[in-house]
């Protein structure tokens, strides 16, 4: 809503200044009749009113421009953070599905395949850790940017959504680590049995 209001006010300012300056310029450039003092006086009053209007609107225009730029920067950061979270979610999905190669011809192959899957899962979990660290940094930057550039009363739903997604990913990661540790202990036991 704030972004729409800022855009609306900025467009209004641009419209006023472009239309007003054209109109004032046209009036001031017309040939003045020396005998008609009232026309000169009206043109002068019109120019003074126009200048006062532009002077009054300029700070609001600058504020709206700053706010609009802040929204654009914030939106870019939120989208970037969202893509990192999406990457982490896809890695979690890959670990959950166990979508690695699964050809097994013997117990030995099964043990080797399981070892590879566990190693791949651990690598993905480490990548998820990296994604979460990146998300934490980005969320911190977004919050700082928001505090510096936007009114304090604005609570952005997008940031809350990112924080909730981050929490869900962290919970899924913790659960995956627990399951992976259980699988790893089972496979270690199987390897020991196979060796014997």
Do 180 and 121 touch, CB atoms closer than 8 A?
A: yes
Q: What is the DSSP letter of 35?
A: T
Give the burial class of 68: count Cβ atoms within 10 A of its Cβ; 0-12 exposed, 13-18 middle, 19 or more buried: middle
**Predicted structure pTM score:** 0.54
Percentage of the chain exceeding pLDDT 90: 0
- pLDDT tens profile 51-92: 777 777 777 777 767 767 766 776 777 777 777 778 877 877
Q: What is the DSSP letter of 32?
A: P
> How far, in Å, are 41, 56, 102, 174, 176 from residue 166 at the CA level?
66, 45, 31, 12, 15
Q: What is the DSSP letter of 102?
A: -
- pLDDT tens profile 99-133: 544 554 566 676 677 777 777 778 888 888 888 88
pLDDT of residue 34: 46
């Amino acid at each position: 809503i704030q972004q729409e209001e800022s855009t609306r006010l900025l467009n209004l300012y641009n419209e006023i200044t472009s239309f007003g300056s054209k109109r004032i310029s046209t009036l001031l450039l017309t040939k003045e009749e020396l005998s008609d003092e009232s026309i000169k006086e009206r043109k002068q009053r019109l120019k003074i009113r126009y200048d006062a209007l532009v002077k009054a609107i300029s700070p609001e225009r600058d504020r709206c421009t700053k706010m609009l730029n802040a929204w654009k920067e914030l939106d870019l950061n939120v989208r970037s953070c969202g893509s990192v979270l999406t990457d982490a979610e896809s890695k979690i999905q890959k670990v959950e599905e166990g979508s690695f190669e699964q050809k097994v011809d013997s117990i030995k192959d099964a043990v080797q395949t399981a070892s590879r899957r566990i190693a791949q899962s651990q690598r993905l979990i480490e990548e998820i850790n990296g994604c979460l660290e990146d998300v934490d940094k980005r969320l911190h930057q977004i919050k700082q940017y928001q505090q510096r550039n936007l009114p304090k009363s604005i609570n952005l739903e997008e940031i809350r959504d990112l924080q909730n997604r981050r929490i869900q990913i962290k919970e899924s990661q913790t659960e995956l680590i627990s399951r992976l540790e259980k699988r790893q202990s089972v496979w270690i036991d199987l390897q020991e049995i196979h060796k014997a």
